Copies of this chain bind each other. A is one copy, B any other.
Amino acid sequence: MSKHIAILPGDGIGPEIIAQAVRVLDKLIAEGLDADYQYAPLGGAAYDEYGHPYPEFTQNICRQVDAILLGAVGGPQYDKLERPLRPERGLLAIRKDLNLFGNLRPAILYPELANASTLKPEVVSGLNILIVRELTGDIYFGEPRGIHTLPNGEREGINTMRYSESEIRRIGKIAFEAAQKRNKKLCSVDKANVLETTELWREIITDISRDYPDVSVTHMYVDNAAMQLVKAPKQFDVIVTGNIFGDILSDQASMLSGSIGMLPSASLNEIGKGMYEPSHGSAPDIAGQNLANPLATILSLAMLLRYSLYNEHAAQRIEQAVGKVLAQGLRTSDIFEEGCQRVSCSQMGDAVLAAL
């Protein structure tokens, strides 16, 4: 049965990096991959066309497909819009609408790019962490929220952190299963010494751990986790945490490698439907200049093939092709270093296609 993919280029460098990933997808389809795709706007592009960052047009397509490939959203021209219409809200809305609660964000140091890290080589060489971040709960979506006026006349802002047992259980399951396929070490991050929500989190993770006796589980406070990621990041295999802590720690972790332009991510629902996107943002400052690094998006396509199309073979082909172009010394500006060959976004796409 043919698989359906939605392609959401988004804003900024989104269209450029997506174009290179689509070339790879086209090639796989030409060679027999049973899939088709259609485009839809998200974020600022969707606001421009439909007046909303996640319009019905895009909803209808995204609800029906098996997987979504997203570029990136956001740009300074949208900063003046009221917040509910801003690009990021489109991203939050699609995550919630499609129930994409399981966010997988690898932080990997590619041996060829070891110098790009600001950390000492011995601290990060071989780094390979998977952050599993809950993506549809927590203080991102909890009610009540907003800004109101207090009896004394001043205003107060409120947001609510919330997690139910079942929300914790389902993300915990994803994390334990991921750990089973890796080095069988899971670190659950919370702030159970202060926040009751994460006291429950710790209790449930501990409870689930009985079903995964082969995985060794530890618990760490979020402040300590932020320290340990600087001090000794290689101690981690899989980290599981809530939405807001995961937002912070996954960005911190991805920067450890110095090449966030290389890192893909997946956001999954309970039945393996997923949205795949690079970990980096829409980089408006270099948009339209054919300078962006398309590799994180191409690697996101590999994740899409693995997790939503169950095509491990095609996923590995892409990952090997990316390895090859790095070994050839090709580098976009963000990962360029002395002695390598500087290439544009589309030249990097050419090279991956040739290496496939």
Interface residues of A, Cβ cutoff 8 Å to B: 83, 86, 88, 92, 118-120, 123, 139-140, 142, 145-147, 150, 154-166, 191, 193-201, 222-224, 226-227, 229-232, 244-245, 247-252, 254-256, 258, 260
Contact = CB atoms under 8 A, between A and B. Distances in A.
B200 A157 contact: yes
B252 A252 contact: yes
Given A88-B194, A118-B231, A230-B230, A199 B252 contact: no
Contacts of A119: 118-120, 230
Contacts of A194: 88, 92, 140
A88 B159 CA distance: 24
A196 B159 contact: yes
A216 to B, nearest CB: 19
Contacts of A249: 226
B230 A256 contact: yes
Nearest to A232: B118
Contacts of A231: 118, 255, 258
11 contacts: A86-B193, A118-B232, A147-B200, A156-B162, A157-B161, A159-B197, A160-B161, A222-B247, A223-B250, A224-B251, A252-B252
Contacts of A193: 83, 86, 88
A29 to B, nearest CB: 35
A123 to B, nearest CB: 4
A145 B120 CA distance: 42
A192 to B, nearest CB: 8
Given A155-B164, A162-B158, A248 B222 contact: yes
A161 B92 CA distance: 19
A165 B150 CA distance: 10
A83 B159 contact: no
A313 to B, nearest CB: 34
A193 B139 CA distance: 13
A160 B163 contact: no
A142 B160 CA distance: 9
Given A227-B252, A231-B255, A196 B160 contact: no
B197 A158 contact: yes
Contacts of A200: 147, 155-157
Contacts of A223: 247-248, 250-251
A330 to B, nearest CB: 23
Contacts of A139: 139, 161, 195
Contacts of A227: 251-252, 254-255, 260
B160 A164 contact: no
A147 B196 contact: yes
B230 A248 contact: no
